[in-house]
Amino acid sequence: MPSTQVPPIAGAAIDPPSLRPPIDDAVIERAAPSELRSRLETLKAGGYAMLLDLGAVDYLGRAPRFDVVYHLLALAAKVATVVEIGTPTRVRILCGVDEGQSLPTVSDLWKSADWAEREVYDLFGIRFDGHPDLRRIQMPYDWVGHPLRKDYPMRGPALERAPRPAFANKTNVVAGSPPSGRTLEALQEQVKRVREGRP
């Protein structure tokens, strides 16, 4: 049973995208942070009108530590039928980012990147230069820490384990006695009865 308190195996020397099995789900490319923006602009001009998703993965122990993943879909932004759309191409751009390094924003290319980049900042701590409003989106505005990092504890900061207030003590449960009545003595008694042939 995996314990929620034991952190998963650190991604040391593991780069799963480089070991991936031959699955035909997208054209996969790697881009460095400096060439990311120009690559995405080229792709957008080349027909990749939809930024399907923007997410991040934390490979703790690898350098660069994070991978920000951009999923793009080549879909013409016009009225089109199913036949015209056909099977669009998907592209996946993986960009390795270090701790403290920031990436250029793409929220001016695709408006949908706004919240996605805010979420990556909130949960991983990766900043995006040029974002109009980079603040936390999922966690409260004064939360400390970036929860989806691998070194962030599953249960959160210790202050959340505060003692329960007085009105939460459930006094109607008799401590120590199971509700079914099957205590050790009762079970031993039952075994004795069976061995002696009594009903």
Partner 1 sequence: MTVNPGQFMLARLDDVARWAQSSSVWPLTMGLACCAIEMMTVTSSEYDIARLGSEVFRSSPRQADLMIVSGRVAQKMGPVIKRLYDQMADPKWVISMGACASSGGIFDNYAIIQGVDTIIPVDVYVPGCPPTPDGLLYAVNLIQQQIREGGRGGILARA
Partner 2 sequence: MTLSATPPPEIIAQTENTMVLSMGPQHPSTHGVLQIVLEIDSENVVKADPEIGYLHTGIEKSAEGLFWTQAQTVIERMDYLAPSSNALCYALAVEKLLGITEGIPERAQTIRVLIGELTRIASHCVWLGTHGIDLGAISVFFYCFDLRENILDLQEAAGGARMHPNYVRVGGLNGDLPDGYLARLDALIEKFPGRMRELRGLLQANPIFQDRTIDIGVLTPEEAVQWNVTGPSLRASGVAYDVRKAFPYCGYQTYDLEIPTRTEGDAYARFLVRLDEMDQSIRLIEQTRRRLDTPGPVMIDDPKVALPPKETIALSMEALIHHFKLISEGFRVPPGDVYQSVESPRGELGYYIVSNGENKPYRIRTRPPSMYNLQALKGIAPGNLIADLVVMIGSLDPVFGEVDR
| Residues that bind partner 1 in the complex, under the rule CB under 8 A | 4, 138-140, 143, 147, 152-157, 160, 162, 164-165, 167-168
Nearer to partner 2, 79 or 173 (CB): 79
Residue 104: in which H helix or E strand, if any? strand 103-104
**From the list 37, 47, 102, 112, which residue makes contact with partner 2 (rule: CB under 8 A)?**
112
Q: Cα–Cα distances in Å, from 129 out to 57, 158, 192?
A: 19, 32, 76
> What is the x/- site pattern for partner 2, positions 141-160, by CB under 8 A?
xx----xx---x-x------
Select from 36, 40, 43, 51 the one that contacts partner 2 (CB under 8 A). Answer: 51
State the binding partner of 144 from partner 1, partner 2, none, CB within 5 to 8 A by kind. Answer: none
Segment (H or E) for 69: strand 66-73
CA distance 192 to 186: 10
Task: Give the single-character DSSP code of 100.
Answer: T
Using CB under 8 A as the binding rule, whether residue 17 contacts partner 2 is answered as yes
- Number of alpha carbons in the 13 Å side-chain half-sphere of residue 109: 23
Residue 153 beta carbon to partner 1: minimum distance, rounded to whole angstroms = 7
**Closer CB to partner 2, residue 36 or residue 54?**
54
The residue type at 126 = I
